[in-house]
Amino acid sequence: MDLSREDANRLRAFIECYVETPLLRSIQQDFDRLRFNKQFAGEPQCMLLTGDAGTGKSSLLRHYMAKFPGQVGHGFIRKPLLISRIPSKPTLESTMVELLKDLGQWGSEYRRNKSSAESLTEALIKCLVRCETELIIIDEFQELIENKTREKRNQIANRLKYISETAQIPIALVGMPWAVKIAEEPQWASRLLIRRSLPYFKLSEDPENFVRFVMGLAKRMPFAKEPKLESKHTIFALFASCQGSTRALKHLLDESVKQALAVHAETLLHEHIAVAFAIFHPELPNPFLQPIGDIKTCEVQQYSRYEISPSGKDELLIPLQFTDKLPISQLLKKR
């Protein structure tokens, strides 16, 4: 498939677009509030944001980070927002190095195993103050929870608390649903004043929210004529294809827009989405080709969980659980 340079740029702009829901706006306001409250004396307020895979956490963080780019100052970079992540199989040293690296500390990747955790921590605090950082957001925080050694887990959690208190900078922890276990730790339980979760869309609870999100995406599509995706057939087929996942919905519509641009369509049509669905799921019934009464789908019933036995030897990841597939009309009746 060939696209002109102009169409490729238009597609790229849509792929990178961001649609703000009321909940996403509220979470950004939480981030703003944490940054604003930093200027007042007292213990820094902290936040916990959880959500399963595909709920839009990464998209939210990219969008928020773009608002606060680093600015070159007097020999250093002013970085009001630091977004980092808990490294896979984290140690105290690797976590400090990751934070230093994301803060723009040159050569931090070479300091692993060459500096003690204490010296790395002090270097990080000095850099945070010098860079005038107002908020630290730590992504993939569930990686810390998955560390089966409770002692090591507590070391990192305590060190983050120390950094927040010493540098007087609030921290927002972001991760999968089981990251909420950090709230069970005494040193964090009282500090996580703001707790939010990003859910999947559910037709049985708030179908209008899903429709508004789809229409928001339609407004950002690169066509002369705005697509009309709010018909019942298209909305139900879109939900059946993504089962409430923001990521799955966006990937399907990204491919659909590409298909429409490739044939120089005036707008995105139901038929283009049917082609995209067949590319991703050739083995499944295509809801965009089925009569509306035959479309079946399911919703999230329980979010994923991660359990560690008291001994710390056994671990169990329980994935997302969905309802049985039902006709759309039955899902709506649940409402």
Domain architecture of the chain: domains with CATH: 22-198 (3.40.50.300), 201-297 (no CATH)
Lowest mean pLDDT of 100-104, 310-314, 320-324, name the range: 310-314
d(C-alpha 245, C-alpha 176), whole Å = 14
Confidence of residue 110 (pLDDT cuts 50, 70, 90): very low
**pLDDT score recorded for residue 75:** 65
Two tokens at 53?
């895979």
Confidence of residue 114 (pLDDT cuts 50, 70, 90): low
DSSP β-ladder status, 71-72 and 77-78: antiparallel
**pLDDT score recorded for residue 15:** 97
Q: For residue 46, is pLDDT > 50?
A: yes
Q: For residue 312, is pLDDT > 80?
A: no
d(C-alpha 325, C-alpha 12), whole Å = 34
Alpha carbon 200 to chain centroid distance? 12
In the chain, the percentage of residues whose pLDDT exceeds 90 is: 70
Two tokens at 139?
């992504």
**pLDDT score recorded for residue 231:** 94
Instruction: Give the pLDDT mean for 294-308.
Output: 92
Lowest mean pLDDT of 20-29, 61-70, 75-84, 281-290, name the range: 75-84
Instruction: Give the pLDDT mean for 254-259.
Output: 98
Write the single-letter amino acid at 239. Answer: F
d(C-alpha 52, C-alpha 56), whole Å = 9
- CA-nearest of 63, 110, 102, 66 to 86 is 102
**pLDDT score recorded for residue 154:** 81
At 58-74, the pLDDT tens digits run: 999 999 999 998 887 66
**pLDDT score recorded for residue 126:** 92
Q: What is the per-residue burial (b if ≥16 Cβ within 10 Å, else e) of 12-38? A: eebeebebebebbeebeebbeebbeeb
Structure-model confidence comparison of residues 149 and 215, the more confident one: 215
Say what the alpha-carbon torsion angle 216, 81, 140, 100 is, to the nearest 10 degrees.
150
At 205-252, the pLDDT tens digits run: 999 999 999 999 999 999 999 999 999 999 999 999 999 999 999 999
d(C-alpha 199, C-alpha 210), whole Å = 12
Confidence of residue 28 (pLDDT cuts 50, 70, 90): very high
Instruction: Give the pLDDT mean for 148-175.
Output: 88
At 94-109, the pLDDT tens digits run: 889 999 999 887 655 4
